[in-house]
Amino acid sequence: MAAAGQSVRADLPDNAPHILVVDDDRRVRELLSRFLFEQGFRVTAAANAAEAQAKSQCIVFDALVLDVMMPGMSGFDYARQVRETSRVPILMLTARSNPNDRVMGLEIGADDYLPKPFEPRELILRLNNIIKRSADGTLLRERTGDTVTFGPFSYRIDRGELRRDEETIRITEREREILTILAMAGGGNVERETLTGSGGLAAERSIDVQINRLRRKTEVDPANPLFLQTVRGVGYRLAID
C-alpha cells in the first residue's frame, strides 16, 4: 500500500518524474495530485512546508509544485530554504497574481510561476518544461569539462560552478542553465529564444529577471554590465576572456 499522501501506479515506468505538491488547501492538493497522477507522474502531497521538509528527507523529487500562501512558513520562505541546498525545479502556484510577487518568486530561485486559477494543461506544459530544462542542463554538464573566465570570475561548465577567485558564488538552477548556454557560445551572441525556449512573453520577462539577478552577482555596476552584455535586437552575450 502507498504511504499516506503518495500516489503510486503499477503501470508507471521506473523513471516517471516524482512531483511533490505542497498546498494547504486539501481540495486543491487532492485535485492536483489526482490530475498529475493521471498524466503519468508519481505524486507525493504535503499540507505545509514542515510536512514537505519531512518528506524531502527520504525522497528525491524531480520537481516541486509549491503554493505561496501557507500558514507557518510561506512558499516563498520554503523555496528560499530549498535553494540553499538543492537545484530541484520549483513551480510556484498562487492566487497572488501581482507582478511584484512573480518577480519575488523568480528572484528567490523558482523556475516558473503560475497564478491561480490556471488551465491544467498549462500546468503540465510548464512542469514538463522545467523538468526538461533541468535534465538538459545536467546532461550538458556531463558532456563538457570546459571552464570559461570573465574578469575575476570562472565558470566550470561540467559542474555548473561559478567562482570569484577562490569563492564559490551561489546560483540557482535556472541561472546555471543560462550561464551554461552563454558559456558554450564562446563569447558569441545568444538569441533570446535560445534562453527562453517557447514560453512566450512570460518566459522573456523571466529571462530579464534571471539576467538581472546574475548581473547583481557578477557586475560591479549591474546597470552598466561588463560581462553579461545585452545585444540589442538579438539577446545576450557573455564577454569571456
Chain segment 83-134, per-residue pLDDT in tens = 888 888 899 887 766 667 777 777 788 888 888 888 888 888 888 888 887 7
Residue ranges, CATH 3.40.50.2300, the chain: 6-137
* pTM greater than the 0.85 cutoff: no
Domain 6-137 fold is Rossmann fold (3.40.50)
Which class is 144-238 in CATH?
mainly alpha
Please name the amino acid found at residue 72. G
Cα-flanking dihedrals φ and ψ of residue 176, to 5°? -65, -40
How high does pLDDT run on average in the chain?
81
Residue ranges, CATH 1.10.10.10, the chain: 144-238
Per-residue model confidence (pLDDT) at position 178: 86
Higher pLDDT, residue 241 or 10: 241
Distance, CA of 91 to CA of 143 (rounded, Å)? 27
**Residue 173 predicted with pLDDT over 70:** yes
| Mean local confidence (pLDDT), 51-63 | 89
Task: Give the start-end residues of each E strand in the chain.
Answer: 6-7, 18-22, 42-46, 63-67, 90-94, 112-115, 147-150, 153-156, 161-164, 167-169, 190-191, 228-231, 235-238
| Mean local confidence (pLDDT), 3-9 | 47
